[in-house]
Amino acid sequence: MTDPSDRRLLLVHAHPDDETINNGATMAKYAAEGASVTLVTCTLGEEGEVIPPELAHLAADRDDTLGTHRIGELAAAMQALGVTDHRFLGGPGRFRDSGMMGLPTNDREGAFWHTDVDTAAPYLVEIVRSVRPQVLVTYDPDGGYGHPDHIQAHRVAMRAVDLAADPDYRADLGPAHTVAKVYWNRVPRSAAEEGFARLRASGAQFPGVADVADLPGVVEDDVITAAVDGGPYTGHKTAAMRAHATQIAVDGPFFALSNDLGQPLFATEYYELVRGTAGAPPGERESDLFAGLSWTDA
Ligand SMILES: [Zn+2]
């Protein structure tokens, strides 16, 4: 596949900000190269904690208007990344943020976690069949770190990939489409350790420093099959992180979430190929998520 404009990448995420933290540099790179980049966000992130004190009133236990506010943050982040196709699964507000695992908000009507996978998946099948991506990116089965909406986003994405390819499933949602390659977001342990060493040596001012164990998706290095060098797009990623101001505090090449713990911002983003054929020789990492695809995959 040599014509960048024929490349179509679809990312499935749980909340506004997850796309930027996990894939911001990758999204900016492919958008800049002329590929089609589509982001699907499953909830508005209504249950998030709010960092800036002057916006604390938006929180779910006060005005409960954080979701609407985060629609604007996400739009600004997409502008920073150069991504123009962004959608909420089922439309904005169809599925609500479930909150952290074990909270009563998990079980409330309309919560994403409380929704059957097969109720949510058709909305994504329709997008897969209309966008027709060769590459789909989502979380691993643990959602990276066990958040119910991340686990559910993984389940819905994997289910939708299967259903979209089945010509006997819901012809009303468009002609069947097989996604050639599916990747899960990952972080190699060595990169996480190196990032924290850099953070500790930097003197960056955070109330605390996170630990490798706090990072989602950390795995042993040999699990990683692809590394996308987003170095030239670090500025785009940083700007998009700043756009998610209720959720992320940025300090140079580091950032903190609402737990105030500093963590490194990765310009290289890492993936594990779980469906499809790698475009790199055995034992080597792909540097391009579209590597090895042929015209017949388009
Ligand atoms: Zn999230």
Q: How far is the CA of 42 from the centre of ligand 1 (A)?
A: 10
Q: How far is the CA of 50 from the centre of ligand 1 (A)?
A: 14
pLDDT band at 247 (very low <50, low <70, confident <90, very high): very high
Helix (H, G, I), strand (E, B) or coil at 218: strand
> Among 5-9, 48-52, 209-213, which range has the highest average pLDDT?
48-52
- Residue 245 Cα distances to 17, 147, 149, angstroms: 9, 21, 21
First to last CA, the chain: 8
If one counts every other C-beta atom within 10 angstroms of the C-beta of residue 81, the result is 29
pLDDT, mean of residues 137-159: 96
pLDDT, mean of residues 81-98: 98
Q: How far is the CA of 22 from the centre of ligand 1 (A)?
A: 10
pLDDT of residue 144: 87
pLDDT band at 1 (very low <50, low <70, confident <90, very high): low
pLDDT of residue 297: 60
pLDDT, mean of residues 139-152: 95
Is the pLDDT assigned to residue 221 strictly greater than 80?
yes
What's the pTM? 0.96
Q: How far is the CA of 223 from the centre of ligand 1 (A)?
A: 23
pLDDT of residue 291: 97
pLDDT of residue 298: 56
Q: How far is the CA of 173 from the centre of ligand 1 (A)?
A: 28
pLDDT of residue 294: 81
Helix (H, G, I), strand (E, B) or coil at 289: coil
Q: How far is the CA of 249 from the centre of ligand 1 (A)?
A: 15
pLDDT in tens, 107-134: 999 999 999 999 999 999 999 999 999 9
Q: How far is the CA of 150 from the centre of ligand 1 (A)?
A: 6
pLDDT band at 16 (very low <50, low <70, confident <90, very high): very high
Is the pLDDT assigned to residue 229 strictly greater than 80?
yes
Single out the residue of 15, 71, 17 nearest to residue 47, CA to CA. Answer: 15
Is the pLDDT assigned to residue 26 strictly greater than 60?
yes
pLDDT in tens, 253-278: 899 999 999 999 999 999 999 999 99
Return contacts of 93-97, CB within 8 angstroms, 24+ apart.
Answer: 93/44, 93/67, 94/123, 95/42, 95/43, 95/120, 96/43, 96/44, 96/46, 96/47, 96/67, 97/15, 97/43, 97/44, 97/45, 97/46, 97/47, 97/48, 97/67, 97/149
Q: Is 57 annotated as a binding residue?
A: no
Q: Is 13 annotated as a binding residue?
A: no
Q: Are 177 and 165 in contact (CB under 8 A)?
A: yes
Per-chain mean pLDDT for the chain: 95
Q: How far is the CA of 146 from the centre of ligand 1 (A)?
A: 10
Q: Is 150 annotated as a binding residue?
A: yes
Q: How far is the CA of 297 from the centre of ligand 1 (A)?
A: 31
pLDDT of residue 296: 60
pLDDT band at 295 (very low <50, low <70, confident <90, very high): low
Q: How far is the CA of 280 from the centre of ligand 1 (A)?
A: 31
If one counts every other C-beta atom within 10 angstroms of the C-beta of residue 155, the result is 18
pLDDT band at 252 (very low <50, low <70, confident <90, very high): confident
Q: How far is the CA of 18 from the centre of ligand 1 (A)?
A: 5
Q: How far is the CA of 40 from the centre of ligand 1 (A)?
A: 13
pLDDT, mean of residues 185-203: 93
Query: Over pLDDT 70: what percentage of the chain?
Result: 98
Is the pLDDT assigned to residue 2 strictly greater than 80?
no
Q: What is the distance between the alpha carbons of residues 12 and 10, in angstroms, rounded to a whole number?
A: 7
Q: How far is the CA of 43 from the centre of ligand 1 (A)?
A: 9
